[in-house]
Amino acid sequence: MKRFTVILLMSAVYLMAVADSSQKYREYADTIRKEVWGMDLPSFKSPASAEKYGDESAVILAAYRGINAKKKTGIAFNVAMLTNILTSPIKTTPQIHATDLYRRLIQINDRAALEKFSEFELVTKEKTSNALNFWANYKEDVNYVLGVRIIKPDGRTIDVDTNDFIDVKEGKNEKELKQKLAVPGLEIGDKIDVFYYTESKLKNAHLDFISIYFRDEYPILNYKVHCEFDDNLTSQIRTTEGAPEFRCTQAENKDYIIDAELTKAVEKTPRLWYNGLRQSPAAFIAVYNRRNKQDYTPKSARKDGIQINPDPLDIQNDSWEQMSSVPYNQTFFGILTGHLDGGKKVSGNLKKMLKNGEITKQQAADYLYNLLTFSYSTNNYKYYFNDFVYYYRWFLDLIGIKDAEMAISSVDGSQPVDQCIYFDNISWLTHVKDIDRWYFPVAGFTAPGEIPAAFQGNPAALRPPKKKKDADGRPLQFLMPVSSPEDNRNISSLDVTVEGSSLNIERREENYGSCKGAGADILIEPDLVDGYLRYLNRYGQTIALKENKKKAAERAERYNDAREKQLTAMKEEAKSYHGIDALQLKDYRIESIGIDPDSAMLSYNLNYTVDGLVKRAGRNVLVSVGLLMSPQTEVLPSDRQRADDAHMISPRQFETRITLAIPAGYKVSAKSLEAFDCRIENEAGAFTSQARIDGDNVLISTLKRYNHKIEKSENWTALTQVLDAAADWRTHTLLLEKQ
C-alpha cells in the first residue's frame, strides 16, 4: 500500500511539474507575441499595393529579420580533471545569448496559398546537454515562439490565441515537443501576419550559421533586416547576388548596428531548376565568441568586431589552418580497419605490390579509397566528411603514394569557395598529382576517381605550398571539371509482352555518374556490404567482416528488416516509373552498386505485370507505349517566361530501349508507328526517338539529353522545346490491328 501511495505521489508531482512548465512557456510566448505585435514597422502597418500580383498564389507584402547576439560569461563546474575539481571547482564559461525574429505579412490570393498557411507546426524547446557535454561544459538551450494573426480586408485584426496550439510529442521516445496550430477563419483575400522567434542560450558554442534570402517562392515587396551584435563578438557577413547594402553603425554601448532594406519588389523564384543559395540575393552571417575553447574558432574570427564581405582568401585560410591542426597518427589505419579480417594488413600489402609493379598507382589509390569508405560504413567510428579525405591523404603516403595534395571546394548547396564566409561549408579534397585523379568525401555511390555532380564546375583551390620555391606554376584558384551528358546517363531497357489486358515487363536499369542517385531509395545494407566485399577481395587480398555471434545475429536481423523495406521500395519504383498503381511485382535483383571504377554502373532488374496500359478498341488493341518511358518534367504555363539560368544537377542523358512482342494474330498500324518518330536538337539538348518493326517485335528507342549543368536563360526556350517533345511523346499509343 505504501508503495502504491508513493507512486501516486510521484505521478502527481510529475504532472504538476509538466503543467507548470507548460504554463510558464505560454506566459513566455504571450510576452514575446505582445512585443512583436507592438513593433513599429511601417511596411507592416501600411504595406505596398499588391495589385500588380493578383495572379500570384500569394504575395509577401513585408518581411522583417531581426537578429541580436550578446556575449555573456557564465560559471560551471571545472570537471575536466580531478585536480581541477579539488583546486578550482568553479570556472567561467563563454556564452552567447541570441534572439532571431523572422516575420512576414502575406496576402492570400488562392486556395493553394490558403491551404499552405492554414496550419503551422513548431518545436517549442530544444535542449542539448548530455554526459559528454557535461565534461566539455557544453550546453545549448533554445526556445521557439510562433505568432499568427489575420488581417481581414475590412481592416479587422484577429489574433490567434495561444490556447489554440496543440502540444504534440514526436521523435524518439516522444521527447520532441511540437506545437501544431490550425488557423481558423483564414480566407482568400485575407492577409496573414506570421513570425518565428528563436531565443538561444549557448555555452561553449558558436551561434548557428545564419542565412537571409531576399527572394522567395512568392514575390517580395519589402524586406528589412536589423541586427545588433555585441562588440565583444566576431560577426562576419557576406552579401551576394545583388543583396541590399548592409550598413554598419556603432551604438553608445559599442554594439554594432547593422541595417539593410529591400525596397524594390523582387519576383518569385522559378519552379524548376533554381538554386536559391547561388542565385538569390542573400546575406550569410557567422557569429563567433572567440573565447570559446570547446568549439573551433577560425583564425579570421579571432579578433572582435564586424567584418562585412571579408576577403574570401581569409576564409579559405581558415580551412587550411584547420586542416593543419588534424593530428597525424600512423596507427589510425589499424583503428579504422581493425574490425575487418585482413584489414590491418592491407597497407603493407598495397605498398609492397605498388613497389614491385604488381598494381598501378591508380589501382592502389582506388582500392584504398573503397577500403576506407567500407571501413567507415561498417564500424562505429564517427564519420566527418573532411576528416575522411585527410586521413585518406595520410594513408596514400603510408602505401608509398607521395604526390597526393590537398584542395578545397564546395558543393552546389553551399557557398562557392571564392565567396565563402563560413569555413565549415568548405569541403576538403585529395588530388593525386601524377595520375590527375580526384578523391572526395563519400557521396552516395561515387566510384573512386569520379567527381560528384555537386562539385562539378565549382570554384576550388589547391593548398598553397609552404615555401614559394615549391610552387610549380599551376594556378591555386581554379574550377572543378564538368562531365558530359554521356558520363551521367540512365539506360532503361524493357522487354514487353501483351498478356490479355496487362503488360508483362522485364526492365533493366543502368545508371552512371549523377544518375546513380536513383539507387538511394532501393539499395540496402546487404547490397552495399556484398558490393564492397566483391570489389575489395582482389589483388590477393581477403577482406571480411569480423564479428562475434551476437553482432552476426544483429546484422542478420537488420538484413531481414531491410529486405522487407526494399521490396516495398521496388514496388514504389515501378509504380513511379509508369505513373500507375495497378502493378504486381514478380521479382527483382540488384546487379551492381556502382563503386567499381572499372565499371562504375549501378544496375538492377525488375519483372512485373502492370494493368491499365492495354485497351481494347473493337477487335484492335491500343498499347500505351508512351508510358513505357519514365515520367517527364512538365512545363507549366507559368514556367514559360524565365529570366534566370537553370541550375541542374549535371549534364545528363536518358535512354529508353523498348522491345515489344507483337501478339499473334495482330499487326502494327504503320500510321501509329510513325507517330513515335521524333527529332528535336538544339543548343540546350535533344529529344529523339525511332520506332521500327524487326520480325515479331516492335523496337523503339528514345534519347533525352541535357547538354549543360547550368543552362543560360537565353536558352530556356530551347530547353522547353526538348521538355515539351518528351512530355508529348509519353502520351502516344500504339495501335495493334487484328488480322
- pLDDT bracket for residue 570 (50, 70, 90): very high
pLDDT above 70 (res 73): yes
- pLDDT bracket for residue 129 (50, 70, 90): very low
For range 405-431, the mean pLDDT: 93
- pLDDT bracket for residue 58 (50, 70, 90): very high
CA-based nearest residue to 97, from 291, 297, 287, 296: 287
- pLDDT bracket for residue 4 (50, 70, 90): very low
For 78-231, strand residue ranges (E) read 90-108, 119-123, 125-128, 139-151, 157-159, 165-170, 176-182, 191-203, 210-213, 223-229
Average pLDDT of the chain, as a whole number = 88
Cα–Cα distance, 440 to 418 (Å, whole number): 19
What is the per-residue pLDDT for 326? 76
Q: What amino acid is encoded at 284 in this protein?
A: F
User: Which has the higher per-residue pLDDT, 82 or 231?
Assistant: 231
Q: Which residues of 104-126 are buried (b: 16+ CB within 10 A; e: fewer)?
A: bbbbbbeeebbeebbebebebbe
Q: Which residues contact 295 (CB under 8 A, 6 or more apart)?
A: 138, 204, 205, 206
Q: What domains are there in the chain, each with its CATH number?
A: 59-310 (2.60.40.3140), 324-482 (no CATH), 486-501+612-738 (2.60.120.1130)
For 191-243, the pLDDT digits (tens) are: 999 999 999 888 878 888 999 999 999 999 999 999 999 999 999 999 999 99
User: What order of strands is seen across the sheet that includes strand 282-288?
Assistant: 210-213, 282-288, 234-240, 305-308
What is the per-residue pLDDT for 474? 81
What is the per-residue pLDDT for 79? 53
pLDDT above 50 (res 390): yes
What is the per-residue pLDDT for 20? 55
Reading the block at residue 125, the C-alpha cell is 524547446
Out of 54-58, 135-139, 583-587, 729-733, pick the least confident: 135-139
How is residue 49 annotated by DSSP?
Answer: P
Out of 103-107, 426-430, 502-506, 578-582, pick the least confident: 578-582
Q: Which residues contact 112 (CB under 8 A, 6 or more apart)?
A: 57
Find residue 354's DSSP bridge partners. Answer: none
What is the per-residue pLDDT for 127? 58
What is the per-residue pLDDT for 174? 58
What is the per-residue pLDDT for 556? 93
pLDDT above 90 (res 139): no
What is the per-residue pLDDT for 401? 95
What is the per-residue pLDDT for 121? 82
pLDDT above 60 (res 89): no
What is the per-residue pLDDT for 206? 86
Q: To the nearest whole percent, how much of the chain has pLDDT over 70?
A: 89
pLDDT above 70 (res 43): yes
DSSP helix/strand/coil, 732: coil
For 574-589, the pLDDT digits (tens) are: 999 999 887 899 999 9
Find residue 529's DSSP bridge partners. Answer: none
What is the per-residue pLDDT for 460? 96
The answer to whether the CB of 226 falls within 8 A of the CB of 218 is no
- pLDDT bracket for residue 10 (50, 70, 90): very low
pLDDT above 80 (res 83): no
What is the per-residue pLDDT for 475? 84
- pLDDT bracket for residue 171 (50, 70, 90): low
Measure the N-to-C terminal CA separation of the chain; round to a whole number of Å: 90
For 703-719, the pLDDT digits (tens) are: 999 999 999 999 999 99
For 553-562, the pLDDT digits (tens) are: 999 999 999 9
Out of 42-46, 294-298, 416-420, 728-732, pick the least confident: 294-298
What is the per-residue pLDDT for 132? 40
Out of 132-146, 328-342, 355-369, pick the least confident: 132-146
- pLDDT bracket for residue 337 (50, 70, 90): confident
pLDDT above 80 (res 167): no
What is the per-residue pLDDT for 471? 76
The answer to whether the CB of 595 falls within 8 A of the CB of 513 is no
- pLDDT bracket for residue 16 (50, 70, 90): very low
For range 672-699, the mean pLDDT: 96
For range 299-312, the mean pLDDT: 93
What is the per-residue pLDDT for 135? 44
For 438-488, the pLDDT digits (tens) are: 999 887 788 999 999 999 999 999 998 887 777 777 888 999 999 999 999
What is the per-residue pLDDT for 503? 96
What is the per-residue pLDDT for 11? 46
Cα–Cα distance, 668 to 698 (Å, whole number): 8
Cα–Cα distance, 518 to 520 (Å, whole number): 6
Most confident segment among 32-41, 340-349, 573-582: 32-41
Out of 3-12, 15-24, 450-459, 590-599, pick the least confident: 3-12
What H or E segment, with its residue span, contains residue 527?
helix 525-536
pLDDT above 50 (res 249): yes
DSSP class per residue in 573-615: HHHHHHT-S-EEEEEEEEEEES--TTS-EEEEEEEEEEESSEE
pTM score: 0.89
Can you list the alpha helix ranges (DSSP code H) found in 338-443?
346-355, 361-378, 385-398
pLDDT above 70 (res 379): yes
Q: Which residues of 219-251 are buried (b: 16+ CB within 10 A; e: fewer)?
A: bbbbbbbbbbbbbbbbbbbbbbeebbebebeee
What is the per-residue pLDDT for 338? 79
pLDDT above 60 (res 12): no
